[in-house]
Structure formats: structure tokens, C-alpha cells
Amino acid sequence: MILNGLGYPDRPLYMTSEFFSKVPCERLLGSGVLPDYLNDDALGRCLDAIYKYGPTELFSNIVFEMMRLQGWHTHLLHVDTTSFSLYGEYPEEGEADIKISLGLPKDGRWDLKRFVLGLVCNRLGVPLFMKSFSGNESDRNSLLEMINELKTGLASTDKTYYVADSALYTDSNLQGIGQSTFWISRVPQTVGEADQLLDACVEMTQCRDARYSYYETVSNYGGISQKWVLVHSKEMEYVAMRTFEKGLAENIEKTGKSLWHLSNQEFFCREDAVKAALKWAKKHPLAEFVSLDTTTVKKKRGRGRPKNDEKLEAVYHVDAVMKVNEKEVERRRGRLGRFILATNDLELDAESLLNYYKEQGVVERGFRFLKDDTFRVSNVYLKKPHRIQALAMIMVLCLMIYSLLEWKLRQKLKETGKTVRSQIRKQVQNPSMKWVFFLFYGVAEILIQRGDILYKELLNMTDELQSLLGLLGTDYEKYYN
């Protein structure tokens, strides 16, 4: 399944037999192993066995053994989750530990059920922990659960920081992690103290990277002593400013239409009309009233024309004129490019905190790999939730091998000074493994019958490919001898 998952385009896992019928199966998996043996029944039995053992437990055992052999550092551990949408119906009850259910979609497909996959990666992008969750699982709960499970089994002498986005930052989560475990997180704007700091006029210190500046303070949010760093990014401000100015006119136009609808509502007393107008103003801070009054209209109760002696009742309408709240607009402009980072390591300097958090993208790159149509790793054609759990482990195992291989090749290229041609025929030392796999796409094994002797030969093994195999070592070269 790993070979299939890291194979070439248009080879989803349910076509494993088809995949191996077009590759030298015995060369890859051993003498006597035929493509017909690798059918969907064999894969199903394998997934059942993985689930019975425990997908997270099996993956952790593999990772911890590799950590022992490779000596990986765990100074920074990046934690995040993503969701995978599935087609079809899935039973609510079953033997799996998760439920395939509706949840918050990150792909906009509210109509599809899903499951959630959580990863913890080191700064090289190598996943060190994985766990699957139900489709409606909250990120707040899953992030804390992964951190606590990993730190229980992780034996490391490194000073470890768990890095996560703002979903981790709740008072219950910070207390659940504990003061002895170091964490780095982005502070959500919904925290009142953070909202005030984002508006504050403070003197910022320039970073060594001229694109950033910062201001340090302390907080005791959730009863945890922590350092807060207000960061300003010039690049983020530039991008956000274009979006803000583009949406400002549209926002004001919608606000004007909303006020028009309010003015057409009927109220039975003046106080209710004024109260509704003030409530509307709180929901639309980009506008402020130039004037606010009410008008009275006499109307008949019920349908039809009023009789001559019929008593008419008074209804009230909001009569207001609005303008753009320039003070609020400037306040929002001033917040662009600003965000707050927090850590419970009071000795960590602001620039290191920022640099550590910026590496959070390694997890996102892993998720992009799992969802990349080129490898089709994430295509799920399974109906049993417990097999989906097992397949999630295979998916992350593919990611681990891919990221390790890419890191190893780039290290060897730098050490030897060699290069690889890129897609634009430029010599580089940081190729993606996706491109390297493509370079090997044309290699094929042919069988030649000469009398009673059957010869096996490889075609299209260029000097460039031989050089790449030489960098990776004999464990790779043996398949191409």
C-alpha cells in the first residue's frame, strides 16, 4: 500500500492489483509475489489487522524505533488537524473508535460526511504522531489530546515546544497541558485582553528580519504565567490592506441596505424603534448615525380601507441617517498585519518565538501532500469506518517516508555539491521528491528470452538517475541492479 500510495498519477489504492501489474512486482516485493495476490481482499485483511493492533499505536511504535536509529531532534513539534470529505452513507454505529459524520468543512462541502486527521510533525515535516477523530470533533479537544498522548510516550532529552494555532489557546487547554510542558500558540482575537493589545499604541522593536517588529508583555490568562508578543508583519499588512480596502465599499453598501430594511420595519412604540436602531448600530460598527429619530404613521388594523369612524393606530418607523465611522475604519486599518503569539516559557526571546511559530507551515505542507491528486493517497474508497482509521495510518506512513526521503536527498546534494535539474532545467539542490519520482517514471523492466534463458534488464536508467541512487545508498541501488 505504501508503494501504491507513493506511486505515480492515477493509481488510487483501490486499484492496487492494477498498479502492480504494470511494475516489476517480484523485483520490489520478492520472488513469487504476483500482482493477483495484492487484491482488495488482501488489503482489507491488512487494514483489519492494523485496526485490531491500533493504528496510532502501530504508527508510534514505528516512529519511536526510527527515532532511536536516526537520532531525530524533537525541539519543535508542530500540531494541527485537517478533515477529509467522504462520499456515500456511513453507519452511525460500528466497531470503529470514530464516527464518519458531518462536521465543520474546510473544503466548503457541508453536505458531505468526514473524518478528522491529526498530525504532530518535527521541524523537517516528518510526522511523529497521528490520530484520527470523528468528523465533528472539535480542534480544541483533539489538539490537547494529541499533545498529552505524545508527551506520555516521548522519551527525549530535548527542550520541547509544542506549536499550534489559536484553536489550542483556551483556558482549559492551557491548564490541561500544564506548566511543565512548553507550548507556543497564536492568541485568538476573541480574548478580551488580546483585543485591547491589538489596538494599543505601543513602541515596537525592529527584528533582525526587517519585515517584522514586536512588542513584549506578560499575561496570566487561564491562570498560567506566560509571555505575549505582539508582532507586526509588513508583508501581512500589505496583503490584508488590499483585501480590506476592496471589501470596505462593499461592506458600507450592505450596511446601507440593512438600514433601509430597518427603516421599513413597524414598531408599536417609539422606545422600541429607538432600541432596535441602537441594537442595529452595535452590529454595524463601520457606520454611525448622523441623526436618529422616529416617524409616526397612522394605519388601520387588519385589511381593507378604514371606515369613517374607525380608530386608526399609530406605528413607528426608524428615521435615521448614517455615515461611515472613520474612527472605526482607522482602528481596523491599524490592526492589519498584527497578531499575538504566546508561550509559557518566559525565558524564550521574542524573535525565537516568532521564528518557531513561522515553521508551523510544515504541517500544512504535509496535509497538502495527503490531499494532492498526483499521489491520490487521500482517496478513500472504504465503507467500514474502522478500515478508514487504518488507512489513515497508511496515509501518514506514506507522508513520513516521502518527507524523510526528500530531506535525505537534499542533505546528500548539499554535502556532495551535486545538483538535480528542475522542471525548468535549472540545476538545484532542493528538488521535491514529487519531481524526482517523475524523473524515474520512465524506468521499466523488460524480459528477454534467449533460448532457454530468461534475462531481465532495465530500460531508461540514465546517468542522472544512477547518480541520484548513488546519493541515496545501496539500499536503493539494489532494486535497480
Nearest to 39 by CA among 10, 11, 7, 17: 17
pLDDT at 298: 81
pLDDT at 339: 95
- pLDDT mean over 194-223: 93
For the chain, the first-to-last Cα distance in angstroms comes to: 24
- Count of Cβ atoms closer than 10 Å to residue 330 Cβ: 9
Average per-residue pLDDT in the chain?
Answer: 87
Read off the amino acid at residue 214.
Y
pLDDT at 152: 82
Q: pLDDT-based confidence at 23, cuts 50/70/90?
A: confident
348 and 59 Cβ atoms separated by less than 8 Å: no
Selected residue with higher pLDDT from 153 and 411: 411
Which range has the top average pLDDT, 301-315, 371-385, 456-470?
456-470
pLDDT at 323: 92
Give the pLDDT confidence of 342-365 residue by residue, as tens digits.
999 999 999 999 999 999 988 888
Q: pLDDT-based confidence at 11, cuts 50/70/90?
A: low
pLDDT at 430: 93
Give the pLDDT confidence of 380-405 residue by residue, as tens digits.
667 788 888 898 999 899 999 999 99
Nearest to 16 by CA among 26, 5, 27, 24: 5
Residue 203 has pLDDT above 70, yes or no: yes
Residue 302 has pLDDT above 70, yes or no: no
Nearest to 115 by CA among 143, 129, 95, 96: 96
DSSP state of 180: T
- pLDDT mean over 464-476: 92
Question: Which residue shows C-alpha cell 505524545?
Answer: 150
pLDDT at 310: 67
Q: Mean pLDDT lowest for which of 14-23, 26-35, 51-60?
A: 14-23
pLDDT at 379: 64
Residue 106 has pLDDT above 90, yes or no: no
pLDDT at 380: 65
Distance in angstroms (rounded) separating the CA atoms of residues 325 and 288: 5
pLDDT at 313: 79
Set of cell numbers at residue 48 = 483489519
pLDDT at 22: 80
Q: Where are the alpha helices (DSSP H) in 31-177?
A: 40-53, 55-70, 139-153, 171-177
Residue 316 has pLDDT above 80, yes or no: yes
- pLDDT mean over 442-458: 86
Give the pLDDT confidence of 227-283 residue by residue, as tens digits.
999 999 999 999 999 999 888 989 999 999 999 999 999 998 999 999 999 999 999
Residue 5 has pLDDT above 60, yes or no: yes
Residue 211 has pLDDT above 90, yes or no: yes
pLDDT at 124: 87
pLDDT at 14: 58
72 and 126 Cβ atoms separated by less than 8 Å: yes
- H or E, element range at 85: strand 76-86
Q: Mean pLDDT lowest for which of 219-233, 345-359, 455-469?
A: 455-469
Classify strands 313-324 and 287-299 as parallel, antiparallel or unpaired: antiparallel
Residue 44 has pLDDT above 80, yes or no: yes
Estimate the crossing angle of helix 234-263 against helix 270-283, to 10 degrees: 160
Set of cell numbers at residue 375 = 499521489
Q: Is 307 helix (H, G, I), strand (E, B) or coil?
A: coil
How much of the chain, in percent, has pLDDT values that exceed 90?
Answer: 51
Residue 141 has pLDDT above 60, yes or no: yes
Residue 137 has pLDDT above 60, yes or no: yes
